[in-house]
Structure 1
Amino acid sequence: MDQGNTAFMLICAALVLLMTPGLAFFYGGLVKAKSVISMMMLSFGALGLVGVLWVLYGYAIAFPSAEGLVAPWAIDWSAIGLQSLLETPEGAAYPPLAFVAFQATFAIITVALVSGAIADRAKFGSWMIFAAIWATIVYFPVASWVFNFGLAEDGSFAYGGWITYGMQEWFGVGAIDFAGGTAVHINAGAAALALALVLGKRVGFQKGVHVPHNPPFVLLGAGLLWFGWFGFNAGSELAADGTAALAFVNTIAAPAAALLAWLVVEKFKDGKPTSVGAASGAVAGLVAITPACASLDPIWAIVLGLIAGAVCALAIELKYKWGFDDSLDVVGIHLVGGLIGTLYLGFFASTTGLFWTGNGTQLLVQAIAAFAVLIYSFVLAYAIGWVIQKTIGFRVKNEDEVAGIDTVVHGEEGYVLEGTRA
Structure 2
Amino acid sequence: MLGLSNLRRVLLAVSFFLFPSFGVADELSGANTAWILTATALVLFMTIPGLSLFYAGLVRSKNVLSVLMQCFTLTCLMSILWFVVGYTIAFGSAEEQGPFIGDFGNVLFAAMGVDSLNGDIPAVLFAAFQMTFAVITPALIVGAFAERMKFSAMLLFSSAWLLLVYSPVCHWVWGGGWLAEMGFLDFAGGSVVHITAAVAALVAALVIGNRRGFPGTPMMPHNMTMTVTGAGMLWVGWFGFNAGSALAANGSAAMALLVTHISAAAGSLAWMACEWIRHGKPSVLGIVTGMVAGLGTITPASGSVGPAAALVIGLCAGTICFFATLFLKQRLKIDDSLDVFPVHGVGGILGTLLVGVFCATDLGVFSGLGFGGDNGSIGAQVQVQLIGIVATFSYTAVVSWLLLKLVDKVLGLRVSEDQETEGLDIVLHEERGYDIR
What is aligned with 2:333?
323
Distance 1:90 1:198, change over 3 A: closer
Task: Map 1:262-281 onto structure 2 (within 5 A).
Answer: 262-281=271-290
1:3 positional shift: 1.1
Which moves more between the two structures, 369-378 or 341-350?
Answer: 341-350
2:161, 2:292 → 1: CA distance?
24
What's the counterpart of residue 240 of structure 1? 249
- Offset at residue 87 of structure 1 (A): 3.4
Query: CA shift at 1:353, angstroms?
Result: 8.0
Report percent identity of matched pairs. Answer: 44
Moved more, 97-106 or 264-273: 264-273
**1:390 deviation in Å?**
2.8
Name which of 33, 36, 40 aligns with 1:9.
Answer: 36
Partner of 1:43: 71
Match of 1:345 in 2: 355
Q: 2:180 aligns with which of 161, 164, 183?
A: 164
Equivalent residue in structure 1 for 2:137, among 110, 118, 121? 110
The 5 Å alignment of 1:350-365 reads 350-351=360-361, 359-365=378-384
CA distance in 2 between counterparts of 1:64 and 1:352 reads: 37
- Report SS of the residue matched to 1:84: coil
Change (3 A) 1:234 1:359: closer
Q: Match for residue 312 of structure 1?
A: 321
Quote how far apart the aligned CAs of 1:352 are: 7.8
Cα distance change of structure 1 residues 220 and 207 upon mapping to structure 2, 3 Å threshold: farther
Q: Hey, what does 2:301 align to over in structure 1? A: 292
CA contact (8 A) 1:353 1:359 kept: no
2:153 partner letter: S
Equivalent position SS for 1:291: helix
* AA of the residue aligned to 1:86: G
> Comparing 279-288 with 359-368, which one deviates more in the overlay?
359-368
Instruction: Describe the shift of the 1:91–1:9 C-alpha distance in structure 2 as closer, same or farther (beyond 3 A).
Output: closer
RMSD of equivalent CA atoms: 1.8
Indicate the residue corresponding to 1:367 in structure 2: 386
Is residue 396 of structure 2 the alignment partner of residue 396 of structure 1?
A: no
Q: Distance in 2 between matches of 1:200 and 1:179?
A: 31
Q: 1:65 offset after TM fit, Å?
A: 4.9
Does the aligned pair in 1 maintain the 2:360–2:377 contact within 8 Å?
Answer: no
Letter in 1 for 2:336: D
| Aligned residue number for residue 92 of structure 2 | 64
Q: Which residue of 2 aligns with 1:119?
A: 146
What is the CA-CA distance between 1:321 and the residue it aligns to?
Answer: 1.2
**Which deviates more from structure 2 when the two are superposed, residues 128-137 or residues 382-391?**
382-391
How many angstroms apart in 2 are the aligned matches of 1:410 and 1:50? 21
Q: Return the letter of the residue paired with 1:326.
A: D
User: Cα 1:335–1:91, aligned 2, differ >3 Å: closer, same or farther?
Assistant: closer
In 2: Cα distance, 1:352 partner to 1:102 partner: 34
Contact kept, 8 Å, 1:346 with 1:353, in 2: the verdict is no
Q: TM-score, normalised by structure 1?
A: 0.91
Which 5+ residue runs of structure 1 have no aligned equivalent?
149-159, 168-173
**Equivalent AA in structure 2 for residue 58 of structure 1:** G
Q: Once the 2 structures are TM-superposed, how far is the Cα of residue 209 of structure 1 from its aligned partner?
A: 1.1
